[in-house]
Amino acid sequence: MDHAQKRVLVVGAGLYGSVCARELREAGHEVLVIERRDHIGGNCYTRYSADAGCDEHVYGAHVFHTSSERIWHYVNTLAPFAPYTHRAKVNFRGKLFSFPVNLVTLNQIYGVRSPDEARVTLERVRVPIADPRNLEDYCLATVGPEIYRLFIEGYTAKQWNRHPRTLPAEIVKRLPVRTDCNDDYFDDRYQGLPRRGYTALFERLLEGVEVRLETDLMAQRDDLLRGYDLVVCTCPIDAFFGYELGALEYRSLRFDTELVDTSDAQGAAVVHFTDAAVPWVRSIEHKHFLSRRVTGKTLLTRQYPADWKPGSPEFYPVSDERNHALLRRYQELGVARFPHVHFGGRLGEYRHYDMDQVIAAALGFCERVGATYSEAPAVSPSRRTRRARAEGPTSLRRATRASAPVASVDFTPPSCRVPRRKLG
């Protein structure tokens, strides 16, 4: 694509769209951003609660983590980040467990007290299944029935509304099991949160860019598309086409937030509820991310999985053969009908991205259309990822520290997920 000045329409003020808007404007292009919600920031949107003295993560917990020095530098030039190490807990039938699974967790379950004892115990509890073909069989063959029952079975059934034995084994292979006492949720080199919340970061990204909120592309799609040389579309690709080939499948979420009259309700930012009888999957206490001032109240959000239908918020793509075949048809339709429209980001590409990966992908695209950020971070597997691929499933069986965080506690299907990689 030539790098002459263009009129650019960006659909969506989430992370992918906002990075593109900033970089394309800096490159001299004329940029307009439209956003159907009444705020910028997409699902990263935060708002300050004076009563709780902290920022509320309105659409669920978002912790920025990356091993890329370039990406870390990029976000820190936009907004100051505070150091934060994410440590979550699991609640199973009223009992709290250290999570991700580590030596403390294994002590709680089996009473082991050393890494050697932990490895011997994990070897003993595995169920001999020669060819595990689904998620349940894989877990039984690698970590045994107790860990599967406590941490995986009920949570997965709630999150996906499917029993684990009907889901592919690949979904859970990112789940770290550690034999030391490390309970860090992420293994990345850099980790933190914007000191003034994510919305302040997006305000910096969109400085000098015209943004129209509560503007739905689909209400005036054809007129808008005709008026621009380039369209960066981060809306769902099937919705863009009015679902004319059928709807892609998603799982949705709903959030129930309340101000609680106590200074500390659960003692951790995130607690995962893995018992299938509990209808929510997570409880988020926002002040444990970054608290700006001490108050006698706290903000607590329960996160419920929900069925999706057109018009509902899209959170998790459902990975199966039907959906990926349909995605390919929509992509082909886009190339044929709208060659000047670029579909990017989580919904535009129908896949899960971590935040640093979204930024890397957006910067890479912008470089190709002449943006000023000329060194888009290269995406290549880390040494740990390459080793795990070579070793196969034994990497989980050996209970070593995995390269991937427990983002897979959502059990996002791997074909919809970008593997954790070294971004530069």
Instruction: Please report the domains of the chain, with CATH numbers, ordered by start residue.
Output: 7-40+206-246+316-368 (3.40.50.720), 101-182+382-416 (no CATH)
Predicted pLDDT at 414: 35
Mean pLDDT along residues 236-241: 97
Q: Residue 14 is encoded by which pair of tokens?
A: 């989430």
pLDDT bracket for residue 24 (50, 70, 90):
very high
Predicted pLDDT at 372: 54
Is it the case that residue 174 has pLDDT exceeding 80? no
Q: Residue 284 is encoded by which pair of tokens?
A: 């988020």
Is it the case that residue 2 has pLDDT exceeding 50? yes
The residue ranking higher by pLDDT, 62 or 310, is 62
Is it the case that residue 310 has pLDDT exceeding 60? yes
Predicted pLDDT at 296: 92
Predicted pLDDT at 423: 59
DSSP collapsed to 3 states, the chain? CCCCCCEEEEECCCHHHHHHHHHHHHCCCEEEEEECCCCCCHHHCEEEECCCCEEEECCCCCCEEECCHHHHHHHHHHCCEEECCCCEEEEECCEEEEECECHHHHHHHHCCCCHHHHHHHHHHHCCCCCCCCCHHHHHHHHCHHHHHHHHHHHHHHHHHCCCHHHCCHHHHCCCCECCCCCCCCCCCCEEEEECCCHHHHHHHHCCCCEEEECCCHHHCHHHHHHCCCEEEECCCHHHHCCCCCCCCCEEEEEEEEEEECCCCCCCCCEEEECCCCCCCCEEEEHHHCCECCCCCCEEEEEEEEEECCCCCCCCEECCCHHHHHHHHHHHHHHHHHCCCEEECHHHHCCCECCHHHHHHHHHHHHHHCCCCCCCCCCCECCHHHHHHHHHCCHHHHCCCCCCCCHHHHHCCCHHHECCCCECC
From the list 185, 234, 197, 229, the residue with the least C-alpha distance to 346 is: 234
Start-to-end CA distance of the chain, whole Å, equals: 25
Q: Give me the amino acid identity at 92.
A: F
Taking only the tens place, the pLDDT of each residue in 197-228 is 999 999 999 999 999 999 999 999 999 999 99
Average pLDDT of every residue of the chain? 87
Predicted pLDDT at 350: 96
Which residues, 6+ apart, have CB-to-CB distance to 28 below 8 Å?
5
Predicted pLDDT at 275: 98
How far is 16 from 266, CA to CA, in rounded Å?
33
| 337: exposed, middle or buried (Cβ count in 10 Å: 0-12, 13-18, 19+) | exposed
Neighbour order of strands in the sheet with 64-66 = 64-66, 190-194, 81-83
Predicted pLDDT at 145: 97
Of 133-142, 181-190, 257-266, 403-412, the one with minimum mean pLDDT is 403-412
Mean pLDDT along residues 39-49: 97
Which residues, 6+ apart, have CB-to-CB distance to 32 below 8 Å?
7, 8, 9, 10, 209, 210, 212, 228
The residue ranking higher by pLDDT, 179 or 1, is 179
Taking only the tens place, the pLDDT of each residue in 86-121 is 999 999 999 999 999 999 999 999 999 999 999 999
Is it the case that residue 3 has pLDDT exceeding 90? no
The residue ranking higher by pLDDT, 39 or 383, is 39
Predicted pLDDT at 418: 45
CB 243 within 8 A of CB 310: yes
CB 187 within 8 A of CB 422: no
CB 197 within 8 A of CB 55: yes
Of 81-90, 96-105, 406-415, the one with minimum mean pLDDT is 406-415
Q: Residue 106 is encoded by which pair of tokens?
A: 């294994």
Of 2-16, 32-46, 200-214, 398-412, the one with minimum mean pLDDT is 398-412
Predicted pLDDT at 280: 98
Predicted pLDDT at 409: 34
Q: Residue 161 is encoded by which pair of tokens?
A: 């509304």
> How many Cα neighbours within 13 Å face the side chain of 246?
11
Is it the case that residue 374 has pLDDT exceeding 50? no
> How many Cα neighbours within 13 Å face the side chain of 387?
11
Which residues, 6+ apart, have CB-to-CB distance to 269 below 8 Å?
61, 86, 87, 88, 284, 285, 286, 288, 289
* Residue 34, phi then psi, degrees to nearest 5: -115, 145
